[in-house]
Every structure is written in structure tokens, then in C-alpha cells.
Amino acid sequence: MADKPIIRWKPVAQTDPSDRTHTLYVPHIVERNQTSSLEDVVYRAIDRGLIAGLKTSAAEAIATGVLRQLGEELNDARGVDFGDFFKVRAYLDGTVEGLLGHLTAENKLNTRFLAGKELKLSRDAFSFRNVLETGDLPYIDDVQGVYAEAGQVRIGEPVQLVGSMLKLGSGDRIEIYKVEDDGSLTVTGTVTSAGLSQNTDLVVAFSAGSAFDGLPEGQKVAFKVVKTVQVEDATETVMSNVATATLLNP
């Protein structure tokens, strides 16, 4: 039996609109599989024999024709029912001023797709992973200088972060902090993938550059990996734990 597709998600904190002192945690999908076009769907339906008497080469023309006609129906102020699979309707957004209020530019006309019972989308068909629990997030186990013990970094020498899921991609970064006396963190530098001498899931190594300038021996410093994942057309930020180390002179 084939493995179930994996849906990765994480809880997102939101204020309860009915009680502003209460926080709700809403599950939010953070990574989606590649989408299929209507042409892909039609092609596969023909290929599987679900649409008889047509060649797969007709898929593009059928898909384009259906979508164009769907647009015509909606622009003629008609909704469209796709059997018991889903319905397409036009809806107005926003509010108006009372029962005799008029529409304004704030009342946008939008299209909504309403799922029907025949779509049969079931949680049983998927595996779900909370990225805050399953190791999908970057995690730093140890910080050390190349020539120092764990928990210690030497000024002017490369720094190593050891852990899991650490590898940086484009747009990812390592943030370097000074740990203040009250425990708060002040950013003193950042490193991108271009500044790494080693870049793997288990180890990233880099020069801190000017991030330690002016800091005395014995100063506590901290590091955090900040990465991004794609959420549909937006970018979601995920972060590692904060790991600390003590500065030593060269």
C-alpha cells in the first residue's frame, strides 16, 4: 500500500474574537504539494477511461473551454453546480450602512467554491505532521568554535552550529545576538547561506564577522536559525531554538 500523502501544519495563535483575553490556536498548513491544472485533471480522467471516446490530446481544449464557459456563466449572474462535487457562486464582501444602505467600493464581488459531499476529502487519506513536534523545524543542539569546546566560541575563529534541519537556502539566515544582563537578546549580526563554509542539515559553519566586535571575553552570545517555507503564494517563517555560547579570546 502506497504511503499516504503528508500534510505539514502548525498551530497559529489568534485572539479569540469573542474574548480578547483568550488565545485560540488554529491549525495552518505550512507546505502543500504541487497543484494540478484543470488540463492535468482532464488528461488523467481521459487516460483512466473516466471520460470515454476522447484522446488525451484533447485535454487542453476541454479544460480551456470549460473555464471560459464558467466565466461566461458567472458574468451572466448565474452560479454553476458541478453535480454533488462543488458549486460556484458570486458573493459580496464587506458591510453596508443599514437596511437601506448602498454598495460602495469596499463591497467587492468575489467567487466562492463550495465543496459538495462527493468530493470525499477525508483526513484518513493523509498523514499529518505538526512541524513544531516532528523535527521539520531547524534545531540547534550545540554551538562551538572550530577549535573550542561545545558552548564556547573564540573571537575571530569560525563558529559551528550542530543540530538538525539546519541547512540554509536562499532567503534563510542565522541571527547572532548579544545576551544582555537581563537575559534579553540584541541582534549583532546575521549570516546568509552565501557566508557559510559548511552548509548541511547537521552542521553549518561560518565566520561571525563583526558580530562579536567590542564584546568582552566571557560575554554570552546566542544564535538562531531562521528559515522559510512556501505556503501557497506566500512565505512562512520558521525558527529554531535559541542556543547560547560563551566568548573566548583567540
Q: What is the pLDDT of residue 119?
A: 81
Per the confidence metrics, is the pTM higher than 0.75?
no
Percent of the chain with pLDDT over 90: 45
> At a CB cut-off of 8 Å and minimum separation 6, what does 133 contact?
none
Q: What is the pLDDT of residue 233?
A: 54
Query: Which domains does the chain possess?
Result: 6-130 (4.10.520.10), 139-248 (2.70.50.70)
Answer yes or no: is pLDDT of 2 > 60.
no
Q: CA dist 75 to 82, 103, 113, 114, 229, Å?
A: 17, 18, 15, 18, 37
How far apart CA 200 and CA 54 sit, in angstroms, is: 49
> Which amino acid, one-letter code, is at 130?
N
Answer yes or no: is pLDDT of 1 > 50.
no
pLDDT band at 217 (very low <50, low <70, confident <90, very high): very high
Of residues 132 and 195, more confidently modeled: 195
Answer yes or no: is pLDDT of 136 > 80.
no
Answer yes or no: is pLDDT of 201 > 80.
yes
Residue located via cell numbers 503564494: 233
Answer yes or no: is pLDDT of 242 > 80.
yes
Average pLDDT of 98-112?
A: 92
Name the phi and psi angles at 206, rounded to 5.
-165, 165
User: Torsion over CA of 77, 45, 120 and 5, rounded to 10 degrees?
Assistant: -120
Answer yes or no: is pLDDT of 104 > 80.
yes
Q: What is the pLDDT of residues 42-74, one digit of tens each?
A: 998 999 999 888 888 999 999 999 999 999 999
Q: What is the pLDDT of residues 180-190, one digit of tens each?
A: 988 889 999 99
